[in-house]
Amino acid sequence: MNKLMRSEWIKFNTLRINWGMLIAAFVVDIALLVIGLIFFNRSVGSGDPVTDAEARIDVIISPIGLFATVVSILAVLVMASEYKSKTVIPTFATAPIRSEVIAAKGIVIAVIAFVSAVIATLVNAVAGGLVLNARGFPVDIADDNYVQVLGGSIVFVVLATVFGYGLGVLLQNSVLSITLIVAIPMVVEPALAGFLPDWIDRYLPFSAGSAMTTPGGTDQLPAWQGGGVFGLWAIAVVIFGAIMFERRDLGNTD
Nearest to 59 by CA among 36, 31, 43: 36
Helix-then-strand count for the chain, H and E: 12, 0
pLDDT of 157: 97
- Tell me the C-alpha to C-alpha distance, in Å, between residue 91 and each of 30, 49, 100: 36, 53, 11
**DSSP state at residue 212:** G
Calpha distance 232→226 (Å, rounded): 10
Judge whether 223 and 152 are in contact, CB under 8 Å: yes
pLDDT of 254: 45
pLDDT of 5: 81
Quick check: pTM over 0.85? yes
Calpha distance 55→48 (Å, rounded): 8
Question: Domain boundaries in the chain?
Answer: 2-246
Q: Which residues contact 54 (CB under 8 A, 6 or more apart)?
A: 47, 145, 215
pLDDT of 35: 92
Calpha distance 180→8 (Å, rounded): 25
pLDDT of 253: 47
Judge whether 196 and 214 are in contact, CB under 8 Å: no
pLDDT of 134: 87
- Tell me the C-alpha to C-alpha distance, in Å, between residue 228 and each of 143, 204, 205, 208, 211: 23, 12, 10, 8, 10
Which residue numbers in the chain have pLDDT < 50? 44, 46, 50, 253-254
The secondary element (H helix, E strand) that includes residue 124 is helix 98-134
- Tell me the C-alpha to C-alpha distance, in Å, between residue 52 and each of 17, 18, 46, 47: 41, 39, 9, 6
pLDDT in tens, 168-179: 888 878 889 999
What percentage of the chain has pLDDT greater than the value 70? 86
Around Cβ 31, how many Cβ atoms within 10 Å? Answer: 12
Judge whether 41 and 49 are in contact, CB under 8 Å: yes
Calpha distance 167→164 (Å, rounded): 5
pLDDT of 209: 93
